[in-house]
Copies of this chain bind each other. A is one copy, B any other.
Amino acid sequence: MTHTDLNGQLDTARADAELFDLLRIPSVSADPARKADMVRAAEFLHAKLTGLGFDARVDATPGHPIVFAQRQGPAGAPTVLVYGHYDVQPEAPVEEWHTPPFEPTVRGGRVYARGATDDKGQAYAHVMGADLLLQGGDLPVTLKFLLEGEEEVGSVNLGAYLTAHRDALACDVIVISDGSRFAKDVPSLTYALRGISYVEIHVQGASRDLHSGSYGGAAPNPINALAHIIAKLKDETGRILIPGFYDDVEPLSDEEREMWAKLPHSDEAFAGSINARALPGEPGFTTLERLWARPTLDVNGIWGGYQGEGSKTVIPARAGAKVSMRLVPGQDSHRITNLIGEYVASIAPEGVTAEVRDLHGGEPVKVDLDSPFVQAASTAIESVYGKAPAFTRTGGSIPIVATFREVLGAPVLLVDLGLDEDALHSPNESFALDDYHNGIRVSAALLQEIGKLGR
């Protein structure tokens, strides 16, 4: 079957309808109140894959369930493991959504819904890729799906699952679509991901809230203290001040800097796409270098004292913040988490205690560009998009990728199908339907190309 056949056979109306049903399930892994919805999403995928003739099952974990499915291919055919996640980010702030986050709505060729691109849309493109091939006959490879429900909360149980099911998961290559292409007209293959260290900082002052009139000037203020701590984590130029933070950072090669300098990128357009007045960041690096190959630190949330209407003259007892650091090849998330823990405790202002709690971490990774699977992916992408992919990195993290390589010992292909403009993790997340449909075609073509490789 040629790629042309694939294009002709794709029933986009059915492909859309099935994805929209999945998007209607509010599978927010961070929200304990959504536990039943997580199960519903897992069972939805289990039913679909069973219907395609896969040997599928839903495996319980201490957290949210994992969907595993496999379908035997021809004797001697390679084995492909597709990884994706059916859990999504919280929808907050819900008031900023133009249409309800869990009622998929099509506007201007895009479907708007939480999880549309991250990762339900990209993961389901592979399910429909198998569906597409099976209409024309059998699969050219042995295909396995591993779809988890905890990626947005650090894949806390997947590592143990991989180890426990090492044999069932054995494969020649792992395919992951959970990121963004470089640009609408630039298909890309991603060869490196940043890792992450995600912590909470908790600052305690007095044991109770105090009147700022009766105590202001003498009582410790945990919010002011937290602000001093955060200001000492990263300076205003974007340089991180945690001692030892940069020690193990693998430097950028001249080849990479030259390759990226050739990519079509405009700081003005990038800033304009998010209505930012400037793109502040670490001196001495371009925007792409800072996003792809340099570590950074961002406060993701902060709270303390009175947040309601009007004014309350209170000195609160405590304040806190969520802080995440993106890590690059060479860095180790456990070491970084320890470094920030020791540093924060050492800079806590007089009168307060500051404690760092580890929420989750993931290791950075670089993918081997020499594998024949990379060539197969490049061919498949070119057959659908009409041009060869650019080789890029991404600023995001898929912590489990490092674990995949470690436990299963197979190369990982990062075939990104989405775009940053899809607003993943933001209100009004969306996925362009043509990107979804091309993703289905790329998935089918990739399995065909890998099938040709034999073992």
On A, residues with C-beta under 8 Å from B are 29-32, 89-90, 92-93, 96, 152-154, 180, 194, 196, 198, 205-221, 223-224, 226-228, 230-231, 234, 236, 238, 270, 274-282, 287, 290-291, 294, 296-316, 319, 321-322, 324, 326, 349-353, 359-360, 394-397, 420, 423-428
A224 touches B306 (CB 8 A): no
**A391 shortest CB reach to chain B, Å:** 18
B304 touches A301 (CB 8 A): yes
Question: Once bound together, how far apart are the Cα atoms of A352 and B152, in whole Å?
Answer: 28
Q: Which residues of B contact A154 (CB under 8 A)?
A: 311
In the complex formed, the residue of B with least CB distance to A287 is B218
B359 touches A311 (CB 8 A): yes
B206 touches A275 (CB 8 A): yes
Given the interface pairs A223-B321, A227-B227, the reply to whether A311 lies near B360 with Cβ below 8 Å is yes
**A291 shortest CB reach to chain B, Å:** 5
**A117 shortest CB reach to chain B, Å:** 10
Question: Once bound together, how far apart are the Cα atoms of A306 and B211, in whole Å?
Answer: 27
B305 touches A322 (CB 8 A): yes
Question: Once bound together, how far apart are the Cα atoms of A4 and B144, in whole Å?
Answer: 92
Q: Which residues of B contact A282 (CB under 8 A)?
A: 217
A298 touches B322 (CB 8 A): no
B397 touches A92 (CB 8 A): no
A353 touches B208 (CB 8 A): no
In the complex formed, the residue of B with least CB distance to A307 is B303
B395 touches A215 (CB 8 A): yes
A426 touches B208 (CB 8 A): yes
Chain A to chain B: the 3 pairs with minimum beta-carbon distance, closest first = A213-B396, A30-B310, A207-B275
Known: A32-B309, A303-B303. 8 other contacts (CB 8 A): A90-B306, A90-B312, A92-B308, A212-B298, A212-B326, A214-B420, A219-B274, A314-B425
B226 touches A274 (CB 8 A): no
Question: Once bound together, how far apart are the Cα atoms of A244 and B238, in whole Å?
Answer: 30
**A275 shortest CB reach to chain B, Å:** 4
**A68 shortest CB reach to chain B, Å:** 24
A426 is contacted by which of B31, B209, B302 (Cβ under 8 Å)?
A: B209
B217 touches A296 (CB 8 A): yes
**A421 shortest CB reach to chain B, Å:** 10
Given the interface pairs A227-B299, A291-B214, the reply to whether A277 lies near B220 with Cβ below 8 Å is yes
Question: Once bound together, how far apart are the Cα atoms of A353 and B215, in whole Å?
Answer: 32
A sample of 17 cross-chain residue pairs with beta-carbon separation below 8 angstroms, ordered by A number, consists of A30-B311, A89-B314, A90-B306, A208-B428, A211-B396, A212-B298, A212-B324, A214-B394, A215-B291, A216-B324, A217-B395, A219-B274, A223-B300, A227-B230, A227-B302, A228-B236, A311-B324
Given the interface pairs A211-B396, A313-B198, the reply to whether A322 lies near B306 with Cβ below 8 Å is yes
Question: Once bound together, how far apart are the Cα atoms of A419 and B196, in whole Å?
Answer: 49
B309 touches A305 (CB 8 A): no
A277 touches B196 (CB 8 A): no
Question: Once bound together, how far apart are the Cα atoms of A206 and B211, in whole Å?
Answer: 35
Q: Which residues of B contact A223 (CB under 8 A)?
A: 230, 298-302, 321
Most chain B CB neighbours (cut-off 10 Å) among A205, A215, A359, A424:
A215
Q: Which residues of B contact A209 (CB under 8 A)?
A: 93, 96, 425-427
Q: Which residues of B contact A302 (CB under 8 A)?
A: 223, 226-227, 302-305, 307, 319
Question: Once bound together, how far apart are the Cα atoms of A196 and B213, in whole Å?
Answer: 9
Question: Once bound together, how far apart are the Cα atoms of A306 and B153, in whole Å?
Answer: 13
A305 touches B301 (CB 8 A): yes
